[in-house]
Amino acid sequence: MYLFLTELVQVLCYYFIFAKCTSVQEQKIVRPPMPIVRNDTHIPPYWLPNGHFQSIYPALFRKIEDVFYERERINTPDEDFLDLDWALNQQKADIVGTPLVILSHGLEGSTSSQYVLGMTRLMTRSGYDCLAWNFRSCSGEMNKASRFYHSGATEDLDLVVQYAIKKGYRSVYLIGFSLGGNLTLKYLGEQGSELPSEIRKALVFSAPMDLKACSMAMIQPRNRVYMHRFLKSLRPKVDEKARLFPDKIDIKSGRFVKTLYDFDHIYTAPIHGFRDADDYYAQCSSMHFVENIGIETLIVNSENDPIVPIASLPSDVIARHDKVFLESPAQGGHCGFRPSVLSGGIYWSEQRALDFLRSA
């Protein structure tokens, strides 16, 4: 925590002193012409003046302690496992008549991430069951296989979806955050017309649809606090995997990892069968799959997201799509969206999701 706070002070000093902390109005952001459901309804607190504050504050200081999961472990075809965390709605209705929300977290997150807990709390209070699933290695226990999770591992999401449908759910909604958002969009596009009919709608927040553009954004001085945080979490996992699978993972190569791009080039790509980082980004960026999405899908990405540049979104493709919509509030940061008026502890993104799922 001390190291993270030190890095935070450094990035904020850079932001204010060198970047001059330009406001959203001063940045001259041009909104691309595309279908928009609703826009600029998010107003952050005055004391969270930019995308960095709006991203970091919820991650550090939001605490949700009234969500209680029931964990279930399922096996994967490659003799690994996924840990699923269930939270049932307070009405305790029959499964067949109860809608289910499947939540996919972000890079090095988990079902305990505050944005997942906040969404789960509101949805269960509103009559939805929730299934928040942990990516491989993210549930608190290292997975068995030599592989981890990655931005395009849609086979795991499909396994979770099929499992939920087999349990009897007939109305399923997908919500993804950051990496989980890219994963969700890629899954929808891959499935296309073959998508299970039980899936009604999908919604993603802060999804890195162009993985290379977002990886390059991380290298910028003002964004290194995020990159260092991710690498600090990823490195011990690689060390453990290297001890378990010394013939597949070269731990000595870790000394060359300085950025997320390096990590993806040296570890993510070869472990998961990609040629290199660029090949991994090209094959797994959801921007290449959006055109084939066949259900109503809302993409929410703030214009001041420090990790996902608004210009990296495939605006031309979305503009032509009749089922995929982009909402780009001026502020909100990366998976932030704390409102200026906090009613019942509900964040703007959570209320927005509920409104979207309930809309005709």
Residues 147-187 have pLDDT tens digits of 999 999 999 999 999 999 999 999 999 999 999 999 999 99
Rounded CA separation 217/196 (Å):
35
Tell me the percentage of the chain whose pLDDT exceeds 90: 82
pLDDT tens, residue by residue, 32-42? 444 544 466 89
* pTM for this predicted structure: 0.90
Q: What percent of the chain lies above the pLDDT cut of 70?
A: 88
The DSSP annotation for 116-140 comes to HHHHHHHHHHTT-EEEEEPPTT-SS
Question: Which residue among the candidates 137, 264, 334, 349 is catalytic per the annotation?
Answer: 334
Q: Under a CB-based contact definition with an 8 Å cutoff, are residues 7 and 225 in contact?
A: yes
- 228 given a catalytic annotation: no
| Interatomic CA distance for residues 187 and 261, integer angstroms | 23
Q: pLDDT tens-digit profile of 215-270?
A: 999 999 999 999 999 999 999 999 999 999 999 898 888 788 999 999 999 999 99
Structure tokens at 301: 């990405």
In tens, the pLDDT along 103-132 reads: 999 999 999 999 999 999 999 999 999 999
- Could you tell me the pLDDT band of residue 21, with boundaries at 50, 70 and 90? very low
Q: Give the phi and the psi of residue 90 in degrees, each rounded to 5.
A: -75, -10
**pLDDT(18) > 50:** no
Give, in order, the Cα–Cα distances in Å from 343 to each of 7, 51, 340: 31, 22, 9
Domains defined along the chain, listed by start: 2-358 (3.40.50.1820)
Per the residue annotation, which of 178, 286, 328, 349 is the catalytic one? 178
Catalytic residue (choose from 305, 312, 321, 328): 305
CA separation (Å) from 289 to 34, 174, 188? 17, 16, 8
Contacts of 2 (CB under 8 A, 6+ apart): none
Q: Which H helix or E strand runs over 251?
A: none
Q: Is the CA virtual torsion 155, 105, 147, 268 positive or negative?
A: positive
* Residue 224 or 5, more confident: 224
The answer to whether residue 334 is catalytic is yes
Active site residue 178: yes
Instruction: With H, G, I as helix, E, B as strand and everything else as coil, classify residue 326.
Output: strand
Question: What are the structure tokens assigned to 44, written together?
Answer: 């952050």
